[in-house]
Structure 1
Amino acid sequence: MASLNPERRFKRPAVFVCDIQEKFRPTIYEFDKVILTTRKLLLAAKALKIPIYVTTQNRPRLGDTVAELRPLLDAAGDLVRADVDKTRFSMWLDPIASGIAPQSEVVIVGIESHICVTQTALDLLAAGHRVYILADGVSSSNREEVSVALDRLRQAGAVVTTSESWIYECMGDAKIPEFKEIVGVVKETMGDTRAALKSLVGSKI
């Protein structure tokens, strides 16, 4: 039986931001919408004090995390548990794996859906975590790759959902202290949410 006391639905949430870098800006389908959804997720993570893990792929060649997200990551402070450069096509690296709680509820945004997002999700599932992929927060250079990747990840055991759904499921109760702040985030980003859903989701879920 559920308790009458307000408590969050997710006990060990974590946010993974995968390779949202400057050099990918011209090549990724609706890259700006991925940034919008990631921005919203980072605002919610800060309000809910959710750990954040960030990677870049070959940063010397492909650039840092995009400028739009750096201030939010800086503002998150100690919530950013790892900001790691990599060559591997998965975020599941020792500095991240060693810091994440067992059986976490991990949400992934970033690129590319069929490469680094997919391999990260598969590794997380194999390690016993619950994995959520935001359909309004992932993309690839070829848009056709996205739906194939989401279908594969769904079959592998990941949950394909949207940013607003995940944020509210993470809370689970309107009586938690952070609820009003999250409502503010949702209202502030309402236009961004609609734009990302229209461009990235459509009928892909």
Structure 2
Amino acid sequence: MQVQDRTNARRRHQCQIHTLPTSVPERIKTLLPISLTYSGSILLIALPKHLAGGKVLGVLLIATEQYPKGLGNTVTELDIQHAAAVVPKTKFSMVVPEVEKLLLSSQHGVDAVVLFGIETHVCVEQTAIDLLSRGVKVHVVADCCSSRSQEDRTLALQRLQQVGCFITTSESVLFKLLGDKEHPKFKEVANLVKTTSQPTGLTGKF
């Protein structure tokens, strides 16, 4: 899905910021509450809120689904109907030709993205590295990322910070996009964040 500077620069980034979720497939969803009780519940609170906030603010959404033939499509709890594209893929990185075309097009030219989804140490990490190599700033939404093991998730986020990503949270992203209480969408976004995300389990890790 970013995260920005002040007034004019903020408006400029709002046009250029792209939310890039790596999907939560139906078959994977059943694994998260079992092997990741803690992170699975985080995802099902933070992700819908984050997607709804981006939709309210008109942030362009590009989604990918990892091998939907075998893993299924994005879970129904996540509303991605407003996505500019939902791209099936087998490559772990989201940076496949269809996505790259959207990112590089004159209409959607981008210099920063907000990235989230699963798994942090596979699709999210490889996508972030590919984007950084193309000169794109990457903001990884920690409370909207998960892995089957907490160790993989934590170490991946640490690696991502080391290679130059900004590690952030959904609420931080949304308020930076707003920038001002007088933003016309402030009340809508404020209502969304009333649902407090659960602790990320990352305190003291960075």
> Which consecutive aligned stretches of 4+ in structure 1 deviate over 4 angstroms post-superposition?
none
1:94 aligns to 2:85 (yes or no) = no
2:182 — aligned with what?
Answer: 175
CA distance in 2, matches of 1:56, 1:34: 16
Identify which of 25, 28, 35 aligns with 1:21. Answer: 25
Q: Distance in 2 between matches of 1:172 and 1:131?
A: 19
Give ranges in structure 2 of 5+ residues lacking alignment: 1-5
User: 2:142 touches 2:200 (CA, 8 Å); kept in 1?
Assistant: no
Give how far 1:147 is off: 1.4
5+ residue gaps, structure 1, are none
Q: Which residue of 1 aligns with 2:87?
A: 84
Query: For the residues of structure 2 that align with 1:149 and 1:183, how far apart are their CA atoms?
Result: 30
Report the alpha carbon displacement of residue 105 of structure 1 after superposing the two structures with TM.
2.5
In structure 2, distance between residues paired with 1:15 and 1:34? 16
The CA deviation at 1:9 is 7.5
2:172: which partner in 1?
165
Q: 1:134, CA displacement in angstroms?
A: 1.1
- Quote the Cα distance in structure 1 between the aligned partners of 2:62 and 2:190: 24
Would the alpha carbon gap of residues 199 and 160 (structure 1) be closer, same or farther in structure 2, given more than 3 Å must change?
closer
What code does the residue aligned with 1:44 have?
A: G
Give me the TM-score of the superposition, normalised by structure 2.
0.84
1:131 and 2:138 correspond:
yes
Q: Which residue of 2 aligns with 1:201?
A: 202
Preserved CA contact (<8 Å) 1:105 1:131: yes
Q: Distance in 1 between matches of 2:167 and 2:145?
A: 11
Query: Which aligned pairs between 1:18-97 and structure 2 lie closer than 5 A?
Result: 18-28=22-32, 29=36, 30-69=39-78, 72-74=79-81, 76=82, 80-97=83-100
Counterpart residue type for residue 202 of structure 2: V
- Once the two structures are superposed, residues 40-78 of structure 1 have per-residue CA deviations (whole angstroms, 9 ceiling, x without a partner) of 111111110011111111111101100111xx222x3xx
